[in-house]
Amino acid sequence: MRKILEDMRIDKNTPVEDIKFVIADVETTGLIPQKDRVCEIAMSVLKNFREMDRFVSLINPEVSIRPDVSKIHGITDDMVKNSPKFSDVLNQVLDILYDGVIVGHNIDFDYEFIRCEFERLGYTIPDIYRVDTLKISKRFCSNVPNNKLETIARSMNLFSNEWHRAENDVVMTTRIFENFLRTFIKENNVVTLNDLLKITN
């Protein structure tokens, strides 16, 4: 396990078409990663514009979900009480993250919660390369009133009736990222991961 964790980062010279992008989203019991917990996780593996794998699960956070937060994502204590704990899905999450680049809308929030869940179980994951669609939208989407996920999605004619659930947000983020990625490759001569990181960060 620890050897795998040490080797998780890929080479920056990896061609974009060979990168395993892991689009991820978590729903949580609150906003503080060091105190609050993950109560739902969704991850989609995208390679060369094809979805290769998807993992979605409610998570028993072993703490109560704050009522104000529950109103946002709709997940209640009753919904998660019989769900697996994060320790039960640790290996699945690790398998998906391994040798990948993690992508999300405000991805540092999701990554920090995942990192803290690993640390509670005694593991330290490396600083995995991340691509943030929120940062991309702030740079390239000047014609939108704000950079919320649903706003960016609607600007691309992507619609949903269920926001703030992990799987739906991952699906939408994947489609947004695909649109951005095609634009980057076409207009900015993006060939490698390093090229992509320079543009997106």
Topology at the third CATH level for domain 2-184: Nucleotidyltransferase; domain 5 (3.30.420)
Say if residues 10 and 135 touch (Cβ distance below 8 Å): no
- pTM of the complete model: 0.92
The torsion angles phi and psi of 56, rounded to 5 degrees, stand at -140, 135
Give the per-residue pLDDT at 163.
Answer: 65
In the chain, domain spans: 2-184
Looking only at the bridges linking them, the beta strands covering 100-104 and 130-132 are parallel
Average pLDDT for consecutive 10-residue bins of the chain (201 residues)?
65 95 98 98 95 97 96 96 98 94 97 97 90 91 90 86 84 93 83 90 73
Cα–Cα distance list, 152 to 32, 148, 171 (Å): 25, 6, 13
